[in-house]
Structure 1
Amino acid sequence: MILAINMNPAIDKVYAVDDFKVGEVFRPRDMTATAGGKGLNVARVACLLGEQVIATGLAGGSTGRFIEEEVKKQGIDSQFVPIQGESRICINIMDEKNVTSTEILEPGPTISEEECEAFLNKYQKLLEKCDVVTASGSLPKGVPEDFYRNLISLANEKGKKFILDTSGKYFEEGINEKPYMIKPNKDEVSKVIKESLSHMDDYIKAVKTFQAQGIMLPVISLGKNGCIAALEDGIYHFTTPQVKVINTVGSGDSFVAGCAVGLSQGRNFIDVIKLGMACGTANTQFFKTGMVSKELVDKFFAMIEYEKIEGI
């Protein structure tokens, strides 16, 4: 069972607009509205792969009700904690003709101390039902910066595998508690270690540092160039096949979902990363955010390449 945490969920609206320009009026040729936020993308993809998934976080107002209803329709167990504020709406304008993506992200509601406490109480009960926990994205206003760190600590106490996918202060605080897996990009790592990363040697040094700190499966995302991962026996570079991209939004979340499924199934680390990358690649083939098909995932899984670039 996978527990997917999305503390600041949203309705994700994607508009397809060719030749998008600022200051003009457009009528999109297509649009979708889904229960979104990074954690819900994770939950959706894991569910599409056939896993049992619980989605939790904070949800409020009419937007929150829409999110919970959509989550349930997808076959995901919705266990959101109700709040007084209104959950947010996020907009993505996809210009496929010019291969651009413009995002407008609402900040979301302000959370009270009592609402934070209510979530922690619920979270500790939900931990009993799962073996892998994912926490994705930013935290809403009012939630302390060390909140993910506390969630990781509680998961570690119960022997649950925790995948942390966030940035900034939330990431810096979280890694101090040794989550099982992380997947920052090179810019996020640079901000934490206070060094620029531009060469393979830099990435190798960074994942080895995370591994030495006690993070079991540190990964650095390199975008179209794949990822670097520190496994038990060395440092590996994984690459994906070249595909015609329809929409990249949600590919990082799909990667997390694939890794969570692999860990929950007890797969070896190489296959865990391959499954994550296959999900991330499959997501690029859909207009809808955080979407895969099992057939495409299986196809791309067989096409993921990897090499050991340094032994331990």
Structure 2
Amino acid sequence: MIFTLTMNPCLDRYIYIDKLVYDDTIRARKIVDYPAGKGIDVSRVIKELGGISIAITFLGGDNGRKIENMLDKEGVIYSSIRVESETRMNIILESKGGQYRISMPGAKISKRKLEVVFEVLEALVREDDIVVISGSLPQGVKPEIYFKIIKLLKDRGSYVYYDTDGEALKIGIHAKPDAIKPNIHEFERLIEKKISSENLSELISEGRRLIAEFELKEILLTLGGKGSLLITNEKALYAHHVEVPIKSAVGAGDSFLAAYVLKKNEGNTEIEAFRWANAAGSAAVMTPGTELCRIEDVLNLLEKIRIEKVKS
């Protein structure tokens, strides 16, 4: 079974307007809400691609109930840990002149509710299950909690994918997850070094240094408009960028990771799972808001994904 863990979910509210005008009434043309949070996005994509996962997350208040209702409509299975505080909302103003994002702070989570996360994981996750840990932490929660969660899961024999940033990534990686999925900026912050996304040999070298130091099995490194890398001790695969019409880059990395996890779990080879990952990531930017990828777009893009082995 595949599980996803989202510690800091949110409700994304897209407000479509013509343009921002200072000190004047701005009328919205359309308002669309999406369930959001990186792990939730991974579970939504897994469902879109025909797979099954269970999304574990904190949810509270009216926004939490809205997220549950939307996940129900999409057919996403979830295990929500109900909290008293309202789930945060992000406001995205979408205009002809560009996009404006207002990220709201999340409410604090009580110590007792944080303990429930461990109880839920112990109750649900079994040996050889896959757990995708994604995203930021709620306000006031220290990054060390990710270290403890990964350690618990590894001790239970689970396969752990870890996708976060900053101090949370630097601390959590010491618990030795099986795989990490940084983008190029997160990777640079992790190794505390600037590397051009076109310098594949140095990226692979630094990746293998991390693999050796933290006993990782694989690194999925997305390079934005420059493609992506799959790095293991034995091989390095490079996927070339595919040109697609861009509507929103939100959720591209989550779509990438979801497709890889699902297809690998279904018994596909690394290269085939990597092909699906790149098709899903590219398909995600073709949809507005946080709609993520659509299966028909992913299938159409699969044959366009060009992957090569990188000598290093």
TM-score calculated relative to the size of structure 1: 0.92
Amino acid across the alignment from 1:138: S
Instruction: Give how far 1:190 is off.
Output: 1.9
Could you say if the C-alpha distance between residues 152 and 298 of structure 1 is closer, same or farther in structure 2, counting changes exceeding 3 Å?
same
Amino acid of the residue matched to residue 271 of structure 2?
Answer: I
| Larger RCO of the pair (alpha carbons < 8 Å, separation 6+) | 1
Task: Tell me if structure 1 keeps the 8 A contact 2:211–2:233.
Answer: no
Structure 1 equivalent of residue 147 of structure 2: 149
Runs of 5+ unmatched residues, structure 2:
none
User: In 2, Cα distance between the equivalents of 1:18 and 1:242?
Assistant: 27
Matches within 5 A, 1:215-226: 215-226=216-227
Query: Separation in 1 of the partners of 2:165 and 2:22?
Result: 29
Write the distance in 2 (CA, Å) between the matches of 1:290 and 1:151: 29
Counterpart Cα distance in 2 of 1:104 and 1:190: 25
112-121 or 200-209, which moves further after superposition?
Answer: 200-209
Cα RMSD of the aligned pairs, angstroms, is: 2.0
Deviation of 1:42 (Å): 1.0
- Within 2, Cα distance between the matches of 1:211 and 1:22? 51
Distance 1:255 1:20, change over 3 A: farther
Greater Cα shift, 127-136 or 281-290: 127-136
Structure-1 separation of matches of 2:210 and 2:303: 29
Residues 247 and 286 in structure 1, CA contact (< 8 A), matched pair in contact too: yes
**Any idea what SS the aligned residue of 1:3 has?**
strand
Q: CA deviation at 1:73?
A: 2.1
What per-residue deviation string (whole Å, max 9, x for no partner) do you get for residues 249-305 of structure 1?
A: 111111111112122212211122221111111111211414222221112122111
Change (3 A) 1:88 1:177: same
Amino acid at match of 1:184: P
**Structure 1: tracts of 5 or more residues without a match:** none
Q: Secondary structure at the match of 2:310?
A: strand
**Matched position secondary structure for 2:35:** strand
Alpha-carbon distance change, 302 to 159 in structure 1, aligned in 2, over 3 angstroms? farther
Q: Residue in 2 aligned with 1:273?
A: 274
Residue number in structure 1 paired with 2:261: 260
The aligned residue for residue 60 of structure 1 is: 60
Q: Tell me which moved more, 253-262 or 227-236.
A: 227-236
Change beyond 3 A, Cα 1:57–1:189: same
The residue aligned with 1:103 is: 101
Amino acid of the residue matched to residue 164 of structure 2? T
Equivalent residues, number: 309
Q: Distance in 2 between matches of 1:207 and 1:26?
A: 48
Q: Is the 8 A contact 1:60 1:82 kept in 2?
A: yes
What residue is the counterpart of 1:239 in the other structure? Answer: 240
Q: Which residue of 1 aligns with 2:228?
A: 227
Shift of 1:91: 1.7
Cα offset for 1:27?
3.0
Name the structure 1 match of 2:185. 187
**Contact conserved, 1:7 with 1:140, CA < 8 A, in 2?**
yes
Whole-angstrom distance in 1 between the partners of 2:247 and 2:24 = 24
CA distance in 2: counterparts of 1:129 and 1:17, whole angstroms:
49
Could you tell me which amino acid in structure 1 is paired with residue 146 of structure 2? Answer: Y
- Mapped to 1, the partners of 2:20 and 2:180 lie a distance apart of 35
Q: Secondary structure at the match of 1:79?
A: strand
Pairwise mapping of residues 1-312 of structure 1 onto structure 2 (< 5 A)?
A: 1-20=1-20, 25-95=25-95, 97-98=96-97, 100-128=98-126, 131-198=129-196, 199-213=199-213, 214-311=215-312
CA distance in 1 between partners of 2:19 and 2:29 (Å): 12
Q: CA deviation at 1:138?
A: 0.4
Shift of 1:130: 7.5
**Matched AA of 1:190:** E
CA–CA distance in 2 between the matches of 1:130 and 1:40?
21
Per the alignment, in what secondary structure is the counterpart of residue 260 of structure 2?
A: helix
Contact 2:5 2:56 in 1 (8 A): yes
Q: Residues of 2 paired with 1:194 and 1:256: CA distance? A: 23
* SS across alignment from 2:261: helix
Deviation of the 1:195 alpha carbon: 1.4
* TM norm structure 2: 0.92
